[in-house]
Amino acid sequence: MNDQRLRLDLVELAEEVTVVDLRDRTLRTSRRLGIQRAVATSAAALVLIAAAAGTAFAIRPDQSPPPLPADSPSVTATPSPPPDPTPPPTKNSPVAPPPEGSAGTTVTFGRLVYGPASSDGEYPATGHLLSWQPGKTPDRLLDLPFVAALTNATVSPDGRRAAWVEENGDLWVADVDGSGRRKLGEGADNNCGSPAWSPNSRQLTVRLNPAAGASAGARLLDVSSGAYSELPVFDGCHAVWAADGTLAFADGTSGGVVITDRTGADRRTIPGLGGKSSEYVCFDIASLSPDGRRLALFRIDRDSETYGDAGRDLIANAVLDTRTGKAVTLPLGGRQMRQVFFQPDGSMVVRLRGNDGYTLLLVDENGKKVGEQPEPASLRNMQILTALG
């Protein structure tokens, strides 16, 4: 039996027993940041745990940004109910296709937020976020720990605040200009469970690590009060929200992607991803359209020799219809797509890589090219974190 056959057999076994061991997946990623964290011990523990639990592990392609170290602390967290977030939409019928054009609507580039991208060599202690709108000069936003800026920092949909988890599991929030910085909690997962803002910019989806006196798992955190409530519908990695309340996340085991709402009433998986008969797997998702119909993600051939780990990756090489699993055709002009982010009006900002840097392509919700704009050279070593519109 060769290594590839063994890997696929382990994936299929994991599907049968439905084990989603996110902590173990996180441990696997600690070796790729280059920070000295007792690497050999973590790797040996992973082999023993995988053999006992039957959980499948694999390594994502080299072009991915490196993930975080895995040694988050064990901290007690006591959940309490927060105010109810924006009510979820009704999802008892399929999403209607987008209209064929909207009279009087002008599609334009909105404001984009950038963070550092991975690079060779040692990482500095501090990183920063930038804001840029095509046609204007980039603005520097807040500074924060570099590893957090690279691997889990996120900006609220209203563009006012940023949240991030530091290596020790501390969860922080601040205004994007750096003011109002405060710690929201401890014991948060800084890797697979990177924080995700709710559509109303008032709550954060987070994952708590095992702690004495408190169970691990997904939580919805009210940013104003600091109160937690359980979020049982989220049991995977790298959640993204749509404006209508749709939640998407990678399931972390089979290579599938789950689409649901806060209640779990319409929980489903995207066809063609994960499962024994699927052609593709996915462990990284980047952006969800406002109506939850389309998803930008990093899709990998199931027969690839290397795929998947728990670290966040915002690269996107496909946009899929979340109901059918079919790829959406984009007017790339033969160029390589690297990132895709949906704007609030449903249009897409597509980042294309060329020999001299990056170009941004603006595509409307019907898949038609509206325009394009070269990125400033100062953004070459950064990645898009979100599109604010």
Is residue 99 a part of any domain in this protein? no
How many structural domains does the chain have? 1
Is residue 94 a part of any domain in this protein? no
Contact criterion met (CB below 8 Å) for 283 and 308:
yes
Count other C-beta atoms under 10 Å from residue 159's C-beta.
Answer: 17
The pLDDT of residue 216 is 74
Task: Tell me the pLDDT of the chain averaged across its residues.
Answer: 77
From 95-109, 145-159, 313-327, 355-369, the region with the lowest mean pLDDT: 95-109
pTM: 0.75
Say which CATH number the domain at 136 has. 2.120.10.30
Report the residue count for the chain: 389
Cβ neighbours for 124, distance < 8 A, ≥ 6 positions apart: 146
How far apart, in whole angstroms, are the C-alpha atoms of residue 148 and residue 115? 10
How many Cα atoms are found within 13 Å in the side-chain-facing hemisphere of 273?
Answer: 34
Cα-flanking dihedrals φ and ψ of residue 146, to 5°? -60, -45
Is residue 173 a part of any domain in this protein? yes
Contact criterion met (CB below 8 Å) for 56 and 13:
yes
Is residue 91 a part of any domain in this protein? no
Is residue 38 a part of any domain in this protein? yes
Is residue 98 a part of any domain in this protein? no
How far apart, in whole angstroms, are the C-alpha atoms of residue 269 and residue 233? 13
Count other C-beta atoms under 10 Å from residue 314's C-beta.
Answer: 25
From 36-40, 86-90, 377-381, the region with the lowest mean pLDDT: 36-40
Range of the domain at 270: 3-86+106-387
- Give the pLDDT confidence of 20-46 residue by residue, as tens digits: 343 343 334 433 444 333 323 333 333
Is residue 208 a part of any domain in this protein? yes
pLDDT tier at 77 (50, 70, 90 boundaries)?
Answer: very low
Is residue 235 a part of any domain in this protein? yes
**Element (DSSP H or E) covering residue 28:** helix 22-28
pLDDT tier at 65 (50, 70, 90 boundaries)?
Answer: very low
